[in-house]
Amino acid sequence: MSLADENKAQLLDRLAAESGVAVVVVDENSNEVAAANNNSMCRLLYPSADFGPFCAEYCGKAFKRATAAGKAIEYECYAGLKCRATPVGKQHVAILGRAFETSDNYRRATDKAINGDWRRFRPTEFFDNVIISGSAATLERAERELDVSVTDLLEGIEKQPKRGRVRTPEPEPQIIETPPIAEPQQQRPDPLESSLLNYKLPAEDTPSPVSEGRPDPFETSMVNAKIDLSGVLVDQDLADREAWRAFIPTLLKVSYRLACRRILEFLARHYGIQSSLWLQREGQQFEMAAAIGDLEDQPVRIEIPVDDKRIRAAVRDDSPIVLKELQTESGKKPRVIQLFPVVIGGEVRNALGIARAEIDPELSARILKFCRYVASRLEILRLRDAVAQQERLSRVLKEFNEQLRNIDSESFWQRLTSIIAQLVDAERASLLIRGSSDMLLAKASIGNQADLSTYPDLGSRVARTILEKGKPALVTDVSKASLSSVSAERSYKTSSFISYPIVFGGTGIGVMNFTDKAGGLRFDKHDLEALDSIAPQIAVALDRIALRDKMGEFAQLSVTDPLTGLLNRRYIEERLSEEINRSDRSGEPLSFLMIDVDEFKSYNDRFGHPAGDEALRVVGSILRQNLRGADVAVRYGGEEFSVLLPNTNTEEAEAIAERIRSHIARTEFPKRQVTVSIGVASRLNGIQSVKDLISAADKALFRAKETGRNLVLVYDPILDGGENVH
């Protein structure tokens, strides 16, 4: 390689590292003549036979469009990447960016790579160098640097006078009064935070090694901090780059939570930042993901919304926000935290808090560079962990539903408790249920050395209070909670626990307790979200047991149809009210089926009532076979049945109804073929009450019978009687 080529490569690498975007130079035939920090997606899609033609419509025409315009042009390619193509002399065009400007585009691309057309590519290669920072300001800055730095090397033209880079004065820190640093109040998870959980990412924990010709890890820097790379700072920058190269591979091998802590430990080693915290965005607020030093012992509540104008100003100016403690002990100086917001994909996703009253501006710029660089890798880890958690939740729910079939077995509750403990990585768990005289009884226990049934006044320390309040308790550090000390014989490994009430019909019927989270970690709100997803099924199972044990045989028969063994109308109407309230709280869908045996009167008249009863028993058996563990089938009355489908949308409910209809239609009944008509209704179209939901399903059922029977029809407010269901 000639000296000019070496200089060109170094300048392109420097430009890519400074801007955090791809820099690709193409000639008039769209051939790449130089590249730095190229997006790994582009490296695979562009040369492929199937997807190359799509790329050719965008980057393949960049030279022609930019030279025709005589200036830079911007476009978003079919993969969702933001690009800026700018002429370089007369013979080349530089494509800057190839980066995701929005997290939504990134999520769509990732889903396509996992489940769609791009799944043929190995995830480790496809996501080897995905850039999640492509704002217009970043691309414009990269274009300015390209113009003054590399034009002469790319084109061999006379060097243009450089535009001087004036170091702007550091903005004055913004002082924001905040409440005292203290243990935050526990808040329930926000149901709107589901878009990133359903997104799929590569599951591999360890990225493929960087081979010859692959981009250096530093090339994917997300940096746009204002720092003068002259004099001694060049040496500092090189030292930083070397340290980053050594650190990043270790970061990508661990979980998201551990990675957050590793980042803070790196800051302590390399930059001398001994007390710091890493925050992550949850809704419109920041929540602490990790802390070290003085901040580790006392969790911090940051009361500044993510979309606050001061956050935007700090991002714009590359300056920290100074958070000052409001209330302190008399004569004690308030503590201060320097807060650095970190942008990924056009959104503030993280923030670094440093417990220092002042930070040298040059050190501040270096730290900000590192945070923006590492944040993109951390976002990949966070989404990867979210996918793993969702896959684990699906597996646990499947095992849970399978266990519900064995509800009468002696090992049912023990096995069920073990499955739920896996969901939150708890090495210890217990299930306590309300007994006579409101005493708590141990139904199952996992990982406890002693027999809980021998404990005097079981649950008096925490569980009984949780049961009465009906709200879960998440304690990150029991030493800071106002609780009585626990017996040393219990030998708890960690100081964090969850106590979760099981509520049915507004009444607390049991409590699940989880301690000793695997790896010595603390339980967090994501564990509560996982328990939220499974709590209704636990409540149903406990309720069935309570009915059998508490009310006796007569009471059990009062909610059970003696002919089919299904639950009856009384039960379903009470249960519907509970499920609608839960749907209101969680935002989850809810569907309901009304089922009628076609021409059942003629069946009875021709073959007699005993034959009709047998036909109804067969229909009831088929319903049980085709439903999931959380679904509830009842005999509504006569030849009518109904099915409650929690957490089920209209399309899923229609598919379940069709499965039931077709199963019945192909079943051989003792006398003649039997078919059913089914009406489907979901909580849409203004349906709010139990009465409205039943009425909507009944109207759809009536239309199915009028249309020709042996059909599944979904409630339509226009076809079934106007806007209202009444």
Strands (E) across 425-555 are located at 426-434, 440-446, 473-475, 497-504, 507-517
Q: What is the pLDDT of residue 157?
A: 35
Residue 652, φ and ψ in degrees, nearest 5: -65, -40
Cβ-contact 343, 332 below 8 angstroms: no
User: What is the mean predicted confidence (pLDDT) over 269-278?
Assistant: 89
Which residues are known catalytic residues? 639
Residue 385's pLDDT band (cuts 50, 70, 90): confident
User: What is the mean predicted confidence (pLDDT) over 646-651?
Assistant: 88
Could you give the CA distance from residue 67 to residue 219 in angstroms, rounded to a whole number? 28
Could you give the CA distance from residue 342 to residue 359 in angstroms, rounded to a whole number? 17
* Look-up of token digits 């935007």: 312
Count CB-CB contacts under 10 A for residue 453. Answer: 10
User: What is the mean predicted confidence (pLDDT) over 420-432?
Assistant: 86
User: What is the mean predicted confidence (pLDDT) over 452-475?
Assistant: 78
Which of 303-307, 356-360, 694-698 is least confident?
303-307
Residue 428 has pLDDT above 70, yes or no: yes
| Residue 222 neighbours by CB under 8 Å, 6+ apart | 20, 131, 132, 133, 344, 372, 373, 375, 376
Q: What is the pLDDT of residue 128?
A: 66
Residue 425 has pLDDT above 90, yes or no: no
User: What is the mean predicted confidence (pLDDT) over 122-129?
Assistant: 68
Q: What is the pLDDT of residue 583?
A: 81
Cβ-contact 123, 202 below 8 angstroms: yes
| Residue 485 neighbours by CB under 8 Å, 6+ apart | none
Task: Convert the pLDDT of each residue in 152-197 to its tens digit.
Answer: 555 443 343 433 333 334 344 343 333 333 333 344 433 223 222 2
Residue 409's pLDDT band (cuts 50, 70, 90): low
Q: What is the largest CA-CA distance in the chain?
A: 103
Q: What is the pLDDT of residue 509?
A: 79
- Token pair listed for 321: 């926000």
Which of 64-68, 101-105, 420-424 is least confident?
101-105
Q: What is the pLDDT of residue 408?
A: 64
C-alpha distances (whole Å) from 446 to each of 418, 518, 565 are 6, 14, 33
Q: What is the pLDDT of residue 655?
A: 92
DSSP 3-state assignment of 243? helix
Which of 298-312, 426-440, 555-569, 697-711 is least confident?
555-569
Residue 297, φ and ψ in degrees, nearest 5: -80, -20
DSSP 3-state assignment of 624? helix
Task: Convert the pLDDT of each residue in 16-42 to its tens digit.
Answer: 766 778 899 999 998 988 888 888 889
- Token pair listed for 463: 């569980």
Residue of 693 and 440 predicted with greater confidence: 693
Q: What is the pLDDT of residue 554?
A: 39
Q: What is the pLDDT of residue 210?
A: 32
Cβ-contact 262, 291 below 8 angstroms: no
User: What is the mean predicted confidence (pLDDT) over 370-377?
Assistant: 80
Cβ-contact 501, 470 below 8 angstroms: yes
| Residue 463 neighbours by CB under 8 Å, 6+ apart | 432, 440, 499, 511, 513
Residue 231 has pLDDT above 70, yes or no: no
Q: What is the pLDDT of residue 172?
A: 41
Closest CA to 320 of 343, 337, 304, 303: 337
Q: What is the pLDDT of residue 596?
A: 94
Q: What is the pLDDT of residue 37?
A: 85
* Percent of the chain surpassing pLDDT 90: 17
Q: What is the pLDDT of residue 3?
A: 43
**Hey, which of 354-358, 534-538, 683-687 has the most confident mean pLDDT?**
354-358
Q: What is the pLDDT of residue 62?
A: 94
C-alpha distances (whole Å) from 672 to each of 113, 449, 638, 666 are 51, 60, 19, 11
Task: Convert the pLDDT of each residue in 331-350 to its tens digit.
Answer: 677 788 888 888 876 678 88
* pTM listed for this prediction: 0.48
- Token pair listed for 125: 């290669």
Which of 230-234, 475-479, 599-603 is least confident?
230-234
Q: What is the pLDDT of residue 158?
A: 35
Which of 104-113, 151-160, 369-378, 464-473 is least confident?
151-160
Could you give the CA distance from residue 96 to residue 26 in angstroms, rounded to a whole number? 11
Q: What is the pLDDT of residue 216?
A: 31
Q: What is the pLDDT of residue 345?
A: 64
Residue 580 has pLDDT above 50, yes or no: yes
Could you give the CA distance from residue 246 to residue 713 in angstroms, rounded to a whole number? 61
| Cα dihedral 440/445/448/450 (nearest 10) | 60
**Hey, which of 122-131, 221-230, 442-451, 516-525 has the most confident mean pLDDT?**
516-525
Exposed, middle or buried by CB within 10 Å (0-12, 13-18, 19+), for 260?
Answer: buried
Exposed, middle or buried by CB within 10 Å (0-12, 13-18, 19+), for 9?
Answer: middle
Residue 370 has pLDDT above 90, yes or no: no
Q: Name the average pLDDT for the chain.
A: 75
Count CB-CB contacts under 10 A for residue 522. Answer: 16
Task: Convert the pLDDT of each residue in 132-154 to its tens digit.
Answer: 665 677 777 778 777 655 555 55
User: Rg (Cα) of the chain, in Å, rounded?
Assistant: 31
Residue 8 has pLDDT above 90, yes or no: no
Q: What is the pLDDT of residue 156?
A: 45
Could you give the CA distance from residue 572 to residue 575 in angstroms, rounded to a whole number? 5
Residue 659 has pLDDT above 90, yes or no: yes
Residue 327's pLDDT band (cuts 50, 70, 90): low
User: What is the mean predicted confidence (pLDDT) over 570-575?
Assistant: 81
Q: What is the pLDDT of residue 665?
A: 92
Residue 68 has pLDDT above 90, yes or no: yes
Residue 421's pLDDT band (cuts 50, 70, 90): confident
Could you give the CA distance from residue 25 to residue 62 in angstroms, rounded to a whole number? 10
**Hey, which of 155-159, 325-329, 367-371 has the most confident mean pLDDT?**
367-371
